Structure 1
């Protein structure tokens, strides 16, 4: 009875082997080694020898679409019959997009008992260095002949093994297409990294630094998965798979967490959320520890768990913050959801839950590309979000300034009436003199405050026009850029269709006609031109906004270190829209150390003095070679600012009264006479000095000295 059961088992095994199909490779073929072509043998300790394997009766059939390996097995053997129907004496067999430590092939020549051993490290002289990144073996089979082959695959990671058999020409074309696709992806990675690095220097937002690190590690991780590390880093697959690749994935996780931490402003959120975020960092750190101690399979499992945990957590955090009013989280949620879905599909594919094909094999690439686009949109939307807030505050400030201007006018009229009344009362009674003086001083202090707001309102009105030009320039470039991308996407779709049917000459002709029709070279040049225009508009807008920051704080109560040269340049940006073209402003800014001061008040001094200089030049009936020079110098105990104009100058009697409140040489309604009085008060507060040199017809020069040791 026992012998009968053994015989029945052997017959059953033979029936399984017999039921397997022969894998025939024709010209132009690229076939996955699916379950109907192979039987499988597990080698948990990796100690089986080929002679024992060839005699083994433990090969069994599997219903999994593609071979699967897990860390408890580590090594599997596949047995299949391969038939070469091509004109070449070999058939390339390749493993793509998997973490494989070793890939070996064994076969016997006819009438020989010795096995031939080939491995993926064997030299392939007919391939260039960019095609040798593929993990593959050229199986020697003469045309129109068949051969039983044994494949040995070793890996420390739970994953599907996508093995493909090609014709020689199809293998070269597939390798070339993979290089082209990877080159395009890495091109996008490099462009996005450089572009966001430039934005980092322009916007000064640390989120861009972490986003650039995220882009770099994403590209490096995909490059390693596709096998390019064998060319550019080391030829030892064990080092790449067990050390470099998991460490890169950990660094990729760190960059994601740091980017999201800054972008979603986690620090300002609840304490519980900050503790949870620290736990997410700890997850990836535990994977790094596993790599250091040589527990590679544990590290990969922890990385997979961390990726899923972080993906779900960040989506939840993004939704929560968006519902709380943080609108820039919208694009982040969309982008991260797409990337999360690509991770789910990737894990399911590696676990054999879904079929492996071209789309699922490159799902991370597709998800990453869409994610990069949406994350860039999220960063841009964040800038727009803060810009809208700034615009709203500026509009509110403008409204207040207009109201204050109205109050100033009314108060000037009231003040004149009060002065007349108080003058008459002085004749009648000396007792009312002190009360009149006190009322006048109170009115003067109120007017000083309203003068500050009026100046800010006038500047804001000019800046509103100045900032509108670059914004319109950016928005006008969006539609043509979108049309160009649509035409490029259409061309890519046609090439994708041709890739699926490479023998379709009619489709190839249509693609060439469409390419000539849209003039791809012109589109490339136009896209670059439009992007440069958008960048220029954004840069100019940023310059204007940065210049306004200093002057939005005119009532600071504490001293701060400030660069006076930078304050001068910011002032020139703000006054640019109000300066006539016939006036040349020449800054000569020598190197200065930062000094303690009230930056907003220093900015008000510069604006008031320069505004007076511009108005003085404008009052001249004829203009020739008009100029305002600004010179800064560093001295032992102080720094100096000298502002000289080519205006009409001042007589001695006017020069003696320029710092008096309400004294003005302008017509009624054109000025309050408080500008230089405020300037004098600010310089006194800084324990500095201001001197004026002016002669009729010789222009005017103001020399301001600010001490370095103000505390």
Structure 2
């Protein structure tokens, strides 16, 4: 071995057993590089400090540290290895002197792609060539944003490789166990649909992700080409595990029911702290992230423990299972931390207590969830028993009540029978009354119709009869004239005398006026007869003896016939404004529609008379229009109008605003039912004091 300047009297790490791993806890020399500027040439012969016994632990630091390790090979092979079991270390530079002036250098760590490593392993492994029977110094420069803990071990190539295999087997078993718990509880969730299982599955996934990240397998298997995420995941996965763990606890132990609301909200403060850590990690502020995570994890551990104890003391059994599982995990964490601070020795047991503790926690929590099924089953059985007891009690009450009810039913049946008889009699009376009222409305309309016809026919008949007497007188005069002309014609007078006698007689009877009068009397009688014929024709159209048959009819013709019948109501003081479109024939019951028109025109005339009396100024307007599927008839007036209450009740049977004896209140109800029978509509526009407008819409074809 060449002499190294500055080397102190530290014993070498002697490798003699080819099947044994040697933990480097003594003989480690170190130099702090605060500026990260020292090179191998600067430190190869520099003065080193000797690390006390135990694993080198430089905690959270911004400095880089150089380590010098003296290896002595007493085995039969010259191929040794130096392993650093800290896969989350950002960067490690390894230097191995070769001969008198050569140097082998290699860089690796979480800040370099995984492919940079000389040996495929989750740990950082550096091959070292040391001739059997000799010794050699090797150098490491390490720096990290996470705590700089450097658990080093050395041994032959075979020993380190075998140890690596055992590590892979352990982590494979761990992952298999965790995935088995995850899948088992997922299938249980599909059966029970209990949300607690989903939160448990989320927590297990977060724990798995955190463990494979801290063990280096995440970098090796999931993101080997992403050094940035390799470093960031170290700070992202623990908060994720903490958040999902707290959510699982809250749902599994029903914290909203078992602890005060303010205490339950305390979890949200911890969520915020973890959120700050995640944001800081994504921003690359790893020192802040580590400190926040360290503080929050301590608070979470204590808070969850206290909450579980409080709920357990209230008698909620699942909290007891959770306490056992959580304590098992915390024990594993404490042992792991004590090992890092050299309070406990570094060995296989202390190196793997955290994953073992997390596995124990997951298994115990799975048992707790299984026990939760038993609890839920017992609660269900209890509720079912209570329900059965309640049903039996209800059945007993029902049996007792049935006796009373049967007696009451008998009594009520008799009373109902008597009431039913009374109601049937009342119903019969009501039907008779309704029939009488409908007949009364018909008779009222008939009386109105008869009065109108009598009045309308009376005028032209009077005109005829008044002309008959004078016409009879004139005819008698003409007959006398014929006799006089016969006498003059048979007399012995000369032709001149006869002509003079005839002319004198014509002058005596005023023959020219007689001709004019006879012509006027005949014209008057003809006009009276024509008017009477027109009225009779209108009556025939209005009455429609085939009113129960659906047929095509002209709405304008029906309106005109109705106006003829009601002409006497207008009394020459109410103006009629007609605006008829050239309507197509529609399918309808013509007689029934004419009755509707009669009722509406009568109401309009009544409203006008109510406002104007016998004075002029009233206007009755009738307009017809049509579109591709409907005919629209608008009947309006400028009478008294209606208020909102009257409009709402207008079509109610027996409702009327007329004085007693002037109406039955059935006219508009019958009109409404008639329009409904035609599948039409009646809309009303009315303003009190200004008039009313009825808009009737009828389909062209009845479907």
Where on the TM-score scale, by shorter chain, does this alignment land: which range? Answer: 0.5 to 0.7
2:189 maps to 1:191: no
- Provide the C-alpha distance between the structure 2 equivalents of 1:69 and 1:139, rounded to a whole number of angstroms: 25
**Residue 361 of structure 1 corresponds to which residue in structure 2?**
351
The match for 1:244 is 233
Distance change (3 Å), C-alpha of 1:98 and 1:356: farther
Per-residue CA deviation, residues 452-483 of structure 1 (Å, 9 max, x unaligned), is xxxxxxxxxxxxxxxxxxxxxxxxxxxxxxxx
Pairwise mapping of residues 632-671 of structure 1 onto structure 2 (< 5 A)? none
Match status 1:405 vs 2:395: yes
Q: Is the 8 A contact 1:308 1:340 kept in 2?
A: no
The structure having more radius of gyration, on CA atoms, is: 2
Q: Which residue of 1 aligns with 2:216?
A: 227
SS of equivalent to 2:50: coil
Q: Is the 8 A contact 2:87 2:122 kept in 1?
A: no
> Is the Cα–Cα contact under 8 Å of residues 77 and 151 in structure 1 kept in the other structure?
yes
Q: Is structure 2 residue 332 aligned with structure 1 residue 342?
A: yes
Measured in 1, the distance between the counterparts of 2:368 and 2:251 equals: 13
Q: For residues 614-629 of structure 1, what are the structure 2 equivalents within 5 Å?
A: none
Asked if residue 307 in structure 1 is aligned to residue 269 in structure 2, the reply is: no
Deviation at 1:287, TM superposition (A): 1.1
Matches of 1:104 and 1:237 in 2, distance apart?
19
Give distance in 2, aligned partners of 1:147 and 1:358: 27
The Cα of 1:64 is off from its aligned counterpart by 4.0
Q: Distance in 1 between matches of 2:416 and 2:76?
A: 122
Q: Does 1:94 align with 2:121?
A: no
Whether the 8 Å CA contact 2:60–2:147 is kept in 1: the answer is yes
What is the SS of the residue equivalent to 1:328? Answer: helix
SS of equivalent residue, structure 2 residue 100: coil
What SS does structure 1 have at the residue aligned with 2:49? coil
Tell whether 2:263 aligns with 1:273.
yes
Partner of 1:259: 248
In structure 2, do the counterparts of structure 1 residues 205 and 159 end up closer, same or farther at CA, with 3 Å as the change threshold? farther
What is the aligned partner in structure 1 of residue 435 from structure 2?
none
Match of 1:72 in 2: 61
| 2:151 matched residue in structure 1 | 162
Residue 280 of structure 2 corresponds to which residue in structure 1? 290
Shift of 1:48: 1.2
Q: What are the Cα deviations for residues 359-401 of structure 1, in whole angstroms up to 9, with x where unaligned?
A: 1111111111110111112222233223222211211121222
> Which residue of 2 is the match for residue 32 of structure 1?
23
Q: Answer yes or no: is the 8 Å Cα contact 2:30–2:49 preserved in 1.
A: yes
TM-aligned CA deviation for residue 128 of structure 1: 11
Deviations 1:475-521 (A, max 9, x none): xxxxxxxxxxxxxxxxxxxxxxxxxxxxxxxxxxxxxxxxxxxxxxx
- For residue 109 of structure 1, the aligned residue among 59, 74, 98 is 98
Measured in 1, the distance between the counterparts of 2:113 and 2:233 equals 24
Cα distance in 2 between the residues matched to 1:343 and 1:56: 38
| 2:109 corresponds to 1:118 | no
Cα shift at 1:168: 1.2
Q: Displacement of 1:241 after TM fit?
A: 4.6
* 1:276-313 Cα distance to aligned partner (Å, 9 max, x none): 11111112112112212212122123212221210110
- The CA distance in 2 between the partners of 1:240 and 1:352, in whole Å, is 30
Q: Is the 8 A contact 1:89 1:142 kept in 2?
A: yes
Structure 1 position 215, deviation (Å): 0.8
SS at match of 1:26: coil
Alignment of 1:316-331 (within 5 A): 316-331=306-321
Alpha-carbon distance between aligned partners in 2 of 1:300 and 1:416, rounded to the nearest angstrom: 80
- For the pair 1:23 / 2:9, whether they are aligned, the reply is no
Deviation at 1:334, TM superposition (A): 1.0
Of 107, 113, 124, which residue of structure 2 is paired with 1:135? 124
1:180-579 map, 5 Å: 180-235=169-224, 238-268=227-257, 269-412=259-402
Greater CA drift, 306-315 or 350-359: 350-359
Q: Is the 1:103–1:120 contact (alpha carbons within 8 Å) kept by the matching residues of 2?
A: yes
Query: What displacement does 1:418 show?
Result: 7.2
C-alpha distance in structure 2 between counterparts of 1:296 and 1:418, whole Å: 84
Cα distance in 1 between the residues matched to 2:405 and 2:198: 57
- In the alignment, is residue 174 of structure 1 matched against residue 163 of structure 2? yes
Distance 1:156 1:248 in 2: 16
- Shift of the 48–387 alpha-carbon distance from structure 1 to 2, 3 Å rule, reads same
Whole-Å Cα distance in 2 between the matches of residues 211 and 257 of structure 1? 10
What is the CA deviation profile of residues 548-600 of structure 1, one whole-angstrom value per residue up to 9, with x for unaligned ones?
A: xxxxxxxxxxxxxxxxxxxxxxxxxxxxxxxxxxxxxxxxxxxxxxxxxxxxx
Confirm or deny: 8 A CA contact 2:73 2:132 kept in the other structure: yes
Displacement after TM superposition at 1:238 (Å)? 4.4
Secondary structure of 2:235's counterpart equals helix
Does the CA contact (< 8 Å) of 1:77 and 1:153 recur in 2? yes
Question: Contact (CA 8 Å) 1:101, 1:237: kept in 2 or not?
Answer: no
8 Å contact from structure 1 (residues 158, 351) kept in 2: no
Instruction: Quickly say closer, same or farther: Cα 1:124–1:198, change in 2 above 3 A.
Output: closer
Preserved CA contact (<8 Å) 1:81 1:146: yes
The aligned counterpart of 1:528 is none
Shift of 1:163: 0.6
Residue deviations 1:27-58 (CA, integer Å, cap 9, x gap): 112011112x221212222221111111211x
The count of corresponding residues between Structure 1 and Structure 2 is 412
Mapped to 2, the partners of 1:187 and 1:213 lie a distance apart of 17
Tell me what 1:148 maps to: 137
User: 1:120 touches 1:136 (CA, 8 Å); kept in 2?
Assistant: no
Q: Report what 2:644 is aligned to.
A: none
How far does the alpha carbon of each residue in 1:44-87 deviate from its partner, in whole angstroms, 9 at most, with x for none?
22221111111211x11222411112332542222122122334
Distance 1:333 1:183, change over 3 A: same
Task: Give the whole-Å Cα distance in 2 for the aligned partners of 1:108 and 1:159.
Answer: 25
Q: Secondary structure at the match of 1:63?
A: coil
TM-score after normalising by structure 2: 0.54
Q: Is the Cα–Cα contact under 8 Å of residues 41 and 60 in structure 1 kept in the other structure?
A: yes
**Contact 2:255–2:264 at 8 Å: present in 1 too?**
yes
1:207 CA drift (Å): 1.8
- Report the 3-state secondary structure (helix = DSSP H, G, I; strand = E; otherwise coil) of the residue aligned with 1:79: strand
Deviations along 1:396-416, one digit per CA (max 9) or x if unpaired, are: 121222233334444445666
